[in-house]
Amino acid sequence: ADEPRLVSIAVRPANGDFALSRVYSLRVSREACPIGRPVFAPDLGRCAVTCNDGYFRNLSSGQCETCARHCLSCDGWAECR
């Protein structure tokens, strides 16, 4: 399994009463992707061989990551095609 990550979620009530605001912290992890499907595609919620438009394959993180804003296809964060 990959190292667990700490995710914090801030919840604020719709009525604007900030005294009722809370922050929840969750420790999350997932199993590493198999060799035949080496990257996790968050838009699909599963491991994949390639990434869909709007994402690039980052083998160091083991997942498809979002391209820069207004970039439909990319090879990296600053490498829009």
Average pLDDT over residues 64-74: 91
Selected residue with higher pLDDT from 2 and 51: 51
pLDDT at position 1 over 60? no
pLDDT of residue 28: 86
pLDDT over 60 (residue 48): yes
Cα separation, 75 vs 23, whole angstroms: 35
Regarding pTM above 0.75, the answer is no
Average pLDDT of the chain to the nearest whole number: 90
Residue 61 has pLDDT above 90, yes or no: no
pLDDT at 23 over 80: yes
Distance of CA 65 to the CA centre of its chain: 6
56 C-beta neighbours (distance < 10 Å), count: 20
